[in-house]
Amino acid sequence: MDSVGVAAAAPDAGPGPAWQSKCPWGAPSTTSISCSLADVMSEQLAKELQLEEENAAFPEVVAAAEGPFITGENIDTSSDLMLAQMLQMEFDREYDAQLRREEKKINGDSKVSISFENYRKVHPYDSDSSEDEVDWQDTRHDPYRADKPTTTPRRGFIGKGKDITTKHDEVVCGRKNTARMENFAPEFQVGDGIGMDLKLSNQVFNALKQHAYSEERRSARLHEKKEHSTAEKAVDPKTRLLLYKMVNSGMLETITGCISTGKESVVFHAYGGNSSTEDKVIPPECAIKVFKTTLNEFKNRDKYIKDDYRFKDRFSKLNPRKIIRMWAEKEMHNLTRMQNAGIPCPQVVILKKHVLVMSFIGQDQVPAPKLKDVTLSSEDMKKAYYQILSMMQQLYRECNLVHADLSEYNMLWHDGKVWLIDVSQSVEPTHPHGLEFLFRDCRNVSQFFQKGGVAEALNERELFNAVSGLNITADNEVDFQAEIEALEKMNEDHVQNHGKKLSTFSSDGDPPIYDE
């Protein structure tokens, strides 16, 4: 029985013997509200009352779904309501597990399957469907759902002569009430009453009915929330579940809060747990990058991934949700390459769908400042410049990567050195726009350090040549860029003609080097 809901359905039981306030059927005799039968039977009134009560009784549930933090510690057990809700959640979870089993049994291997999805109790953490690329089937308009109950005709009686029975007849009314429970939402537990000759008083029936409506509405609202939720505010229920599992499994100790909310990702700080995954030791502090599941933001990133041959075959076949996972996957692969080359960058801990856990650059929950936010001594500035120059070369030559979003926004200053982050969009140099991306990176870096007073800083063209090893001689930006594009085109033509791309560019007429 739903202890929370019933408590809510009879909130004004008033002072009375203890058993009354605990009795799940409410307090039948203490309510002094007098009203007509018409009122009692009025659905309109029931609904209105319902709305009032529901709003009073369930705000906590909804609020909890919006909070960004999940920890094993911050569950408040001091409130009875909260405890009751937690118990209810546990009960609902079991109920849903049962539903799932039944669903499975019914569907078997059949190609056409039915879903009980809408009959499930919905909780923010409870949506562990790994089939998230399959949209929720809409079973709301269930053709098999019972029609409205037959009501006593308007004239208020049935039968003739001495067999006349009015709607006020206690037995008839009681039986009818019991039967009408069948029309509560299907997920509402009515017990075995329907099969028995059980007679419910109007008062009890109405309390139950109100509660059933309340549950139905709450459930519908949460379903809606679940379906429409995006990562705009915090994270959607599916992501919450992923995070919750990471804490639950002991991989993470606590997720403390949000470090950054960008257009395409939300980054959280977490303390690492003591369980190790795949022989990896979890760093004491972690950063969790959640790639936003709002699809539209990613549309303008197509050009990075669509032409990346590593993902080319997969791109066209994928739905948008999978593409978002691919961004996370790309970031993971690129970080791993960088790690292997010894470039200071976050270390990958684990990737789960669109959630990437990595080591935290910073200390005691305070992220290392971005290069744009830190004031360095001229000595450190120079040191940072030379470090970046050599990192860009390593990235290009050893990792075969171009950062493609390199600027003072994606470099952190920590432990007296520069750390590179945010590499989900990084591409290989032979990407159709790879050299253009590199040139843009060089411009950002060059401008930042020239403005920052580093006299030794190369200009963007010199830096480009220094990083790529190419020898583009154009002495102005327009010609330089034209040459870059010509090289890119040469590579594309080569791919067209030979089905193979060049492994490196060469600008001085040498025979191109092929990837074997």
Q: Which residues contact 213 (CB under 8 A, 6 or more apart)?
A: 46, 47, 50
CA separation for the pair 399, 341 (Å, rounded):
7
Shortest distance, CB of residue 337 to ligand ADP, whole angstroms? 16
The one of ligand ADP, Mn ion, none whose footprint includes residue 204, by CB under 5 to 8 A per kind, is none
Closer CB to ligand ADP, 358 or 402, in the complex: 358
The one of Mn ion, ligand ADP, none whose footprint includes residue 267, by CB under 5 to 8 A per kind, is ligand ADP
Place of tokens 């995070």: 243
Residue nearest to Mn ion (CB): 422
Q: Is 236 in the site for Mn ion (CB under 5 A)?
A: no
Closer CB to ligand ADP, 186 or 283, in the complex: 283
Span near Mn ion by CB under 5 A; candidates 34-42, 237-245, 414-422, 463-471: 414-422
Q: Could you give the C-alpha distances from 322 to 227, 238, 428, in angstroms and in order?
A: 17, 14, 21
Closer CB to ligand ADP, 322 or 370, in the complex: 370
| Interface with Mn ion (CB under 5 A), residue from 229, 410, 425, 468 | 410
Shortest distance, CB of residue 395 to ligand ADP, whole angstroms? 16
CA separation for the pair 257, 68 (Å, rounded):
7
- Burial of residue 33 (CB within 10 Å: 0-12, 13-18, 19+) is exposed
Phi, psi of 248 (to 5 degrees): -60, -35
DSSP state letters, 301-335: GHHHHHT-HHHHHHHTT--HHHHHHHHHHHHHHHH
Shortest distance, CB of residue 451 to ligand ADP, whole angstroms? 20
Closer CB to ligand ADP, 267 or 323, in the complex: 267
Closer CB to ligand ADP, 96 or 285, in the complex: 285
Closest C-alpha among 481, 70, 336, 228 to residue 346: 336
Within a 13 Å sphere around the CA of 396, how many CA atoms are in the beta-carbon half? 27
The one of Mn ion, ligand ADP, none whose footprint includes residue 253, by CB under 5 to 8 A per kind, is none
Specify the amino acid at residue 296: N
Give the dihedral sign, CA 61/67/73/78: negative
CA separation for the pair 227, 225 (Å, rounded):
5
Residue nearest to ligand ADP (CB): 262
Shortest distance, CB of residue 432 to ligand ADP, whole angstroms? 22
Place of tokens 């359905």: 9
405 is catalytic: yes
Packing angle between helix 434-451 and helix 477-498, nearest 10 degrees?
A: 150
CA separation for the pair 70, 125 (Å, rounded):
10
The one of ligand ADP, Mn ion, none whose footprint includes residue 260, by CB under 5 to 8 A per kind, is ligand ADP
CA separation for the pair 234, 424 (Å, rounded):
21
The one of Mn ion, ligand ADP, none whose footprint includes residue 458, by CB under 5 to 8 A per kind, is none
Closer CB to ligand ADP, 267 or 487, in the complex: 267
3-state DSSP call for residue 3? helix
Q: Is 264 in the site for Mn ion (CB under 5 A)?
A: no
Rg (CA), the chain: 32
The one of Mn ion, ligand ADP, none whose footprint includes residue 403, by CB under 5 to 8 A per kind, is none
The two tokens of residue 72 are 């094993």
List interacting residues with ligand ADP (CB under 6 A): 259-260, 262, 264-265, 267, 287, 289, 346, 358, 360-362, 367, 370, 410, 421-422
Q: Please tell me which residue in 2, 236, 405, 441 is annotated as part of the active site.
A: 405
Closest C-alpha among 231, 117, 119 to residue 186: 119
The one of ligand ADP, Mn ion, none whose footprint includes residue 370, by CB under 5 to 8 A per kind, is ligand ADP
Shortest distance, CB of residue 422 to Mn ion, whole angstroms? 4
Closer CB to ligand ADP, 277 or 481, in the complex: 277
Shortest distance, CB of residue 293 to ligand ADP, whole angstroms? 14
Q: Is 422 in the site for Mn ion (CB under 5 A)?
A: yes
Shortest distance, CB of residue 409 to Mn ion, whole angstroms? 6
For the annotated catalytic residues, the residue numbers are 405
Q: Which residues bind Mn ion (CB under 5 A)?
A: 410, 422
